[in-house]
């Protein structure tokens, strides 16, 4: 399957630090990046979500970064989230969870050789505390399958004190239907996405059709359950099915939400919001945009061409 090969290659590129350094330094990249990334600093992030809020959309902010093996970097990530939450609260954007934050435990040191899991959990806990003070909450992004158990364990710990902390489950993983059953409980927020990493056949469906089918199966479990489903997809078929599953389960418009990425299908985002749905936009910001962007390219070759043309000036 050529698109699978391209995806694999692109994801490989996302780990190549030489390529990353060249691309990050290409001046023109900055303009292209703007389409998908809200800027580099906290002020940029706050102004992007203020604009979304003005148009009736919810947001979740992601300070870009992942896979750190440097404790100082993990501390910097934690502190950036703490500052961000204070600024969002000052701007009046956090009450009722209108703007929340998404965290990657790997950016908070989950893979540090010494006590990584504990450090990332402690840092995530501080961010959950700051979010609660600001009147909002946190969602733990899900990364590659080697971290799923650790991330779900950390989630369970955080939910003891901060029960609204959200989980992410990935429909490409074979285990996910069972995880959905476990998490489809009262007060539990679960973002369901297809999954963005390159995973082996032993744990993940490789065929797009199978991933889509599993997405629908998992979504059915979440919509029938007692939790709060967060439908993270740009796929028109998935969005339509989500609407009918919500109707079938007599779900009120405020008992689930749609989620899409910043810069992807913005008109559809507005249409869903204008129709009275809860629509949350995932807004990444910061300097470390390379891995994030390469995953978006891998999903959509049209974006890749757009990006490469701009980088090479052709």
Q: Is residue 108 a contact point for ligand FAD (CB under 6 A)?
A: no
DSSP per residue, 107-150: GGTTT-TTTHHHHHHHHHHHHHHHHHHTT--EEE----GGGHHH
76 a known binding residue? Answer: no
Nearest residue (CB) to ligand FAD, 136 versus 259: 259
Q: Which of 150, 183, 261, 283 binds ligand FAD (CB under 6 A)?
A: 261
142 a known binding residue? Answer: yes
Q: Is the dihedral of CA 199, 201, 205, 209 positive or negative?
A: positive
Considering only the stretches 2-10, 23-31, 190-198, 306-314, report the one whose residues sit in contact with ligand FAD under the rule CB under 6 A.
190-198
141 is an active site residue: yes
Contacts with ligand FAD in 262-281 (CB under 6 A)?
Answer: 264-265
Q: Per the structure block, which two tokens stand in for 283?
A: 């807004």
Total binding residues toward ligand FAD, as defined by CB under 6 A = 24
Q: Which of 259, 285, 290, 293 binds ligand FAD (CB under 6 A)?
A: 259
Considering only the stretches 67-75, 122-130, 175-183, 187-195, report the one whose residues sit in contact with ligand FAD under the rule CB under 6 A.
187-195
Angle (nearest 5°) at CA 85 between 261 and 192: 35
Q: Per the structure block, which two tokens stand in for 291?
A: 């891995």
Alpha helices in the chain (DSSP H): 2-14, 17-25, 29-33, 42-54, 71-90, 116-133, 148-161, 176-183, 208-224, 236-248, 266-274, 290-299, 301-312
300 is an active site residue: no
Contacts with ligand FAD in 158-177 (CB under 6 A)?
Answer: 168, 170
Which of 62, 141, 179, 212 is labelled catalytic? 141
233 a known binding residue? Answer: yes
| Residue 246 and residue 223 in contact, taking contact as beta carbons nearer than 8 Å | yes
Distance of CA 278 to the CA centre of its chain: 16
Q: Which of 75, 78, 49, 51 lies closest to 63 in space, CA to CA?
A: 78
Minimum gap (Å) between residue 118 Cβ and ligand FAD: 22
Q: Which of 66, 141, 179, 199 binds ligand FAD (CB under 6 A)?
A: 141
Q: Per the structure block, which two tokens stand in for 172?
A: 């490409």
CA–CA gap between residue 296 and residue 69 (Å, rounded): 24
Nearest residue (CB) to ligand FAD, 84 versus 140: 140
Which of 7, 78, 98, 191 is labelled catalytic? 191
Nearest residue (CB) to ligand FAD, 7 versus 125: 7
Nearest residue (CB) to ligand FAD, 41 versus 266: 266
Q: Per the structure block, which two tokens stand in for 245?
A: 């599953």
Angle (nearest 5°) at CA 257 between 169 and 46: 95
166 a known binding residue? Answer: no
Minimum gap (Å) between residue 33 Cβ and ligand FAD: 15
Using CB under 6 A as the criterion, which residues of the chain lie in contact with ligand FAD when the complex forms?
141-142, 168, 170, 191, 193-197, 232-236, 259-261, 264-265, 282, 299-300, 303
Which sequence positions are flagged as catalytic? 141, 191
Summarize the annotated binding site as residue ranges. 104, 142, 170, 194-196, 208, 233-234, 295-296
């Amino acid at each position: 399957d050529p698109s699978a090969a391209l995806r694999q290659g692109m994801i490989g590129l996302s780990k190549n630090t030489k390529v990353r350094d060249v691309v990050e330094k290409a001046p023109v990249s900055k303009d292209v990046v703007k389409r998908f990334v809200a800027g580099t600093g906290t002020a940029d992030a706050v102004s992007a979500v203020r604009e979304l809020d003005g148009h009736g959309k919810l947001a979740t902010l992601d300070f870009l970064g992942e896979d750190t093996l440097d404790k100082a970097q993990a501390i910097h990530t934690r502190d950036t989230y703490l500052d961000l939450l204070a600024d969002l609260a000052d701007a009046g954007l956090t009450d009722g969870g209108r703007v929340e934050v998404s965290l990657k435990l790997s950016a908070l040191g989950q893979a540090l050789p010494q006590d990584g899991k504990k450090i990332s959990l402690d840092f995530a806990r501080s961010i959950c505390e700051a979010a609660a003070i600001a009147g909002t909450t946190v969602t733990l992004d899900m990364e590659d399958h080697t971290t799923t158990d650790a991330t779900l364990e950390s989630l369970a710990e955080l939910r003891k004190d901060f029960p609204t902390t959200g989980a992410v489950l990935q429909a490409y993983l074979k285990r996910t239907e069972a995880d959905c059953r476990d998490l489809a409980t009262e007060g539990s927020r679960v973002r369901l996405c297809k999954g963005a990493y390159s995973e082996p056949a032993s744990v993940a469906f490789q065929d797009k059709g199978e991933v889509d089918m599993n997405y629908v199966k998992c979504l059915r479990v979440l919509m029938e359950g007692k939790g709060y489903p967060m439908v993270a997809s740009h796929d028109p078929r998935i969005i339509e099915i989500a609407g009918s599953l919500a109707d079938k389960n007599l779900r009120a418009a405020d008992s689930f939400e749609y989620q899409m990425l910043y810069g992807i299908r913005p008109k559809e985002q507005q249409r869903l919001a204008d129709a009275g749905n809860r629509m949350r936009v995932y807004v990444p910001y910061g300097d470390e945009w390379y891995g994030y962007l390469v995953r978006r390219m891998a999903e959509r070759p049209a974006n890749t061409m757009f990006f490469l043309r701009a980088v090479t000036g052709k």
